Amino acid sequence: MVTQLSQQIYTPTEYLELEAQADNRHEFINGEIVPMAGGTTNHNELITNLCVLLKPSLREQGRRLYSENVRLWIPAANVFTYPDVMILDGEPAYYGDNQTTVTNPVVIFEVLSDSTRDYDQGRKFNFYRTLETLQEYVLIDQETMAVMIYRRRTNKDWHLSLLEEATEVVKLDSVGVELTLQDWTILDINCKSKAVIAYFGKYGGVPQRLKDSPQSSSNWFFP
């Protein structure tokens, strides 16, 4: 779509009109329309299993869960994008009358790939952390057993936790959900990823164990 357009800078309205007719997804970054890379089957399996894992507890709490086809508007950055997974605390706040675009996630998940790793950890996170509602940003590495969680402390202060051990628990404080790297695996015959994530805690665990040896864990402060 983008290569067929001569205009270089677009308004949000123009972008939404073009995106509604497009076969593939595009980001809108401060007036520029940028095509998004297609996801692999491994990437899709990670997202699907994560949603299946999270949905029961979030439904019980009245929270909403959306995956990669729901668009996000980030007003302070003038950006439209499609996060892999979003959790909303209650009803969605839409962009205008457009019910395909939300504005109020409290948790965002991105599955890292070679083509998006630097962007997801850098510039895209800079966009995301301008959202006043966002409390936690979770990055899942496709290639290793690693989960990174950025937690908001103040508007400009985010704390980063790196989880690599099979017994470590991923705590989503903003929505009261705990996941563990041990009790439930998203590995299957066609999925090369070693990343695992689990439904855990008061909502009940999944009786499956991963026998990989623990690696290491560290915490940092992210200014």
Determine the straight-line distance between the first and last CA of the chain, rounded to whole angstroms.
38
179 DSSP β-pair partners: 170
Q: How many CA atoms lie within 13 A of 57 on its CB side?
A: 19
What is the Cα–Cα distance from 107 to 172, expressed in whole angstroms? 8
Domains and CATH numbers, the chain: 1-36 (no CATH), 40-70+83-222 (3.90.1570.10)
What six digits make up the tokens of 51? Answer: 């949603």
The pLDDT value given to residue 199: 32
**pTM of the predicted model as reported, rounded to 2 decimal places:** 0.80
- Judged against a pLDDT cut of 60, whether residue 137 lies above it is answered with yes
Nearest CA among 100, 97, 95, 99 for reference residue 131 = 95
User: What does the pLDDT look like over 164-179, one tens digit per residue?
Assistant: 887 788 889 999 998 8
Q: What confidence tens digit (pLDDT) does each residue in 40-93 have?
A: 788 888 888 888 888 988 999 999 999 989 999 999 999 999 999 999 999 999
